[in-house]
């Protein structure tokens, strides 16, 4: 009790000091316990961070962390400011951390306002680490179904460590996502910021489609070399002809943009190659922001990631590095009602050779208008039933029953088999969106570069391969999977060890080999996010 009384007395003593007190701790105390300077109040989350700022300095008896007795930045203070000045490499906005003001104050020796420099540097660091750890927006802000994670920043521990001489750069970087893709994106963004200052890349122009062995315009070739360097791709030797080496270079650029890899430079390829800096950087900013929504530590379990704009599935085993399995997928159409939602859930079971229980939305929008008689049902392997069950009674396609179907008194399903819209299996991770993975008889769709054709669910290219990966821990091999599928009987198999499924939306990706990919914003999610970020 006596100790607490002395602490309270010491606090009131500091608060009562004159604004003309000489020592730096006295000045810091006066600023914190009177009206804060305008420069400090401009920090975005000032309301929630200022009380923590007071606690940080109260615990230190108002001793500075970043300036010395002569009101100059310490070596650690300079390192910290230098790291904040790299905010753009993290896809963050320097204006949110008042870096213009900080840099102006830091350039003066000694600073004209050292107390503001000290406190603003601390407050900007608090905002920076919060943004770096949790993002500036949440999935809820953008109506996405990913969970909002609780990843608090321990500001007290951060500044205590920095005051004890620990490297503030390492302390900050520990709050950034530690996964490979984020770190690779940060390095690339750093490179791109340097190129960006040189201005836009020269626009590529062609008078007609460029095919192999055509004459190669010199200006076009020079522009291609710039873009190859941008994506760290090897450059071919100079040539007057669109030779094999140049065709291979264009194929590499088409791969970067998720285009059909044919080496022919038509309108679509030319548009992708002429992407503006704002568009390139925007994809990186949006993708880095979404990476902050993922858990700080990758779960030590098997998991599947579907990247919607890439039209690709990857399966991992406890580490987000090289996938154990990857394959193309078909996702929902770009119309709002058909878009594949962004969320994560746990896979519980797989149904082999399933019936397709046709949702009412598809039934009444697409099927009912096309019914032209009883033969329609046998042609498409449809059955009318009263409820969805493997043992449900099938009603014949009489005019009376067809009328009941149209009036919602009967349901419709498609029988199992090669014709079935769900293919050989459906992979169930129960969710409010009623979304699942499944096969498809329409394998030609996987040859398309843009694969947004479904009503929301995700079609996988190779059901047996995916099922073998899922059930390998239960002793299944490919022969076992093929045997179950060949039985042509619906069969539900529960997973003994659950598999996490995450449906994500990353228009920029860098894989473990360092290859860069930029994909179209097929649902406009990037555009919406970037607009919201500009409003902060």
Residues 228 and 212: their CA atoms lie apart, in Å, by 18
Evaluate whether 16 touches 29 at the Cβ level (below 8 Å): no
Task: Kindly list the distances between the CA atom of residue 148 and the CA atoms of 47, 290, 382, in Å, as whole numbers in the listed order.
Answer: 21, 11, 42
Q: Is 457 a catalytic residue?
A: yes
Buried-exposed string 29-50: b where 16+ CB fall within 10 A, e elsewhere: bbbbbeebeebbeebbbeeebb
Torsion, Cα 429 434 438 441, to 10 degrees, reads 170
Distance CA 71, CA 85 (A): 21
* Cα–Cα dist 233/34, whole Å: 57
What region, left, alpha or beta, does residue 208 occupy, with left being phi > 0 and alpha being psi -120 to 50 degrees? beta
Q: Is position 96 annotated as part of the catalytic site? A: no
Catalytic entry in 96, 257, 438, 525:
438
Q: What Cα–Cα distance (Å) separates residue 232 from each residue in 197, 321, 350?
A: 18, 20, 41
DSSP helix/strand/coil, 159: helix
Query: What distance in Å separates the CA atoms of residue 257 and residue 181, rounded to the nearest whole number?
Result: 17
Query: CA-CA distances (angstroms) from residue 415 to 358, 395, 399?
Result: 11, 14, 21
Catalytic residue positions, numbered:
438, 457
């Amino acid at each position: 009790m006596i100790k607490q009384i002395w602490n309270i007395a010491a606090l009131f003593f500091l608060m009562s000091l004159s604004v003309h007190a000489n020592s730096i701790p006295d000045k810091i105390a006066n600023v914190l316990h009177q009206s804060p300077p305008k420069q400090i109040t401009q920090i975005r989350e000032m309301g929630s961070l200022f009380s923590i700022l007071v606690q940080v300095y109260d615990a230190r008896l108002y001793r500075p962390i970043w300036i010395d007795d002569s009101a100059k930045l310490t070596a650690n203070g300079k390192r910290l400011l230098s790291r904040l000045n790299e905010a753009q490499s993290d896809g963050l906005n320097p204006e949110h951390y008042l870096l213009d003001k900080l840099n102006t104050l830091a350039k003066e020796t000694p600073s004209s306002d050292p107390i503001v420099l000290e406190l603003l540097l601390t407050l900007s660091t608090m905002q920076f680490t919060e943004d770096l750890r949790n993002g500036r927006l949440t999935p809820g802000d953008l109506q996405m179904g990913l969970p909002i994670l609780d990843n608090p920043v321990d500001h007290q521990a951060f500044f205590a460590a920095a005051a004890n001489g620990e490297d503030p750069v390492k302390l900050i970087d520990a709050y950034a996502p530690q996964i490979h893709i984020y770190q690779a994106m940060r390095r690339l963004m750093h490179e791109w910021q340097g190129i960006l200052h040189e201005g836009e890349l020269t626009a590529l122009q062609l008078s007609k489609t460029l095919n192999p062995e055509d004459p190669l315009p010199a200006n076009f070739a020079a522009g291609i070399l710039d873009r190859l360097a941008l994506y760290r791709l090897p450059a071919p030797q100079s040539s007057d002809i669109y030779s094999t080496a140049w065709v291979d270079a264009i194929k590499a650029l088409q791969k970067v943009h998720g285009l059909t890899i044919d080496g022919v430079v038509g309108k679509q390829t030319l548009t992708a190659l002429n992407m503006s800096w704002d568009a390139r950087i925007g994809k990186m900013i949006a993708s880095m922001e979404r990476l902050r929504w993922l858990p700080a530590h990758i779960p030590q379990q098997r998991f599947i990631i579907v990247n919607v704009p890439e039209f690709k599935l990857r399966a991992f085993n406890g580490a987000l590095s090289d996938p154990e399995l990857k394959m193309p997928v078909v996702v929902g159409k770009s119309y709002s009602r058909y878009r594949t939602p962004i969320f994560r859930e746990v896979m519980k079971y797989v149904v082999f050779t399933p019936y397709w229980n046709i949702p009412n939305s598809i039934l009444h929008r697409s099927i009912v208008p096309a019914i032209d008689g009883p033969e329609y049902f046998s042609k498409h392997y449809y059955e009318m039933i009263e409820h969805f069950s493997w043992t449900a009674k099938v009603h014949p396609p009489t005019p009376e029953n067809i009328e009941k179907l149209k009036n919602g008194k009967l349901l419709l399903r498609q029988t199992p088999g090669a014709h079935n819209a769900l293919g050989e299996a459906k992979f169930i991770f129960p969710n409010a969106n009623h979304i699942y993975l499944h096969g498809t008889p329409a394998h030609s769709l996987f040859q398309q570069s843009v694969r947004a054709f479904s009503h929301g669910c995700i079609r996988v290219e190779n059901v047996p391969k995916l099922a073998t990966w899922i059930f390998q821990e239960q002793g299944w091999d490919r022969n076992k999977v093929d045997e179950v599928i060949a039985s042509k009987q619906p069969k539900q198999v529960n997973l003994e060890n659950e598999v996490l499924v995450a449906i994500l939306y990353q228009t920029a990706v860098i894989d473990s080999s360092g290859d860069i990919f930029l994909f179209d914003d097929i649902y406009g999610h990037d555009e919406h996010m970037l607009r919201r970020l500009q409003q902060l």
